[in-house]
Amino acid sequence: MRYIWITFGALVVLMLGVFGLPKLQPAGQPKNQPNREQLPVQPTTWTNGRSTPPRPDSVVRFAMRQLGTNYCYAGNTPATGFDCSGFVQYVFSRFKVEMPHSTGLLISVGRPVARNQARPGDIVVFTGTAATSTTPGHAGIVVSEAGQPLRFIHSSSARRESGVKISQVEGTDYERRFLDVRRVL
């Protein structure tokens, strides 16, 4: 009988290792409120502990220094390469602005801004490439001034020209995929 319990215990441990532990709601937190880990990341700390955000032109200038860096799935450093959200996270982390490494969460950072009011340093979010996609699947950092055609720097996985590059929204497939502009600075 002891061997049955040992075998059962080993199976439970194995299953927990394969499928992971379920996320438990912290004690004392109402069930209808999301766990703190599920909340979108909001920028709270600025460079050198100042109460003012970094200058958007500084953010864009630093992002431009990454032009040509390779695309790498789940990458978030110039040494390994970047995916789109890893690139956004890396650039903003240089200025001590916390960003999630998830395009699905980038759609919730900062505050929404009308597309025609997008300015350098804003984050732009798009759906994935599938024609039926409606969820966030790509992101970049705006480099154009308000009122100009929307241009952004991003890490692209495109077969023809992958890596960190600048693209335009108007007149491209990004126009169809456009979801939102988010201002974090």
Residues taking part in catalysis: 84, 138, 154
φ/ψ region of 66 (left if φ > 0, alpha if ψ in -120 to 50, else beta) reads alpha
Q: Over 61-88, what HEC string results?
A: HHHHCCCCCCECCCCEECCCEECHHHHH
Cα dihedral sign for 136, 183, 119, 62?
negative
**Residue 167 token pair:** 């693209």
Token pair 């055609």 is found at 149
Coil, strand, or helix at residue 45?
coil
Token pair 């790509």 is found at 138
Coil, strand, or helix at residue 135?
coil
**Residue 118 token pair:** 């997008």
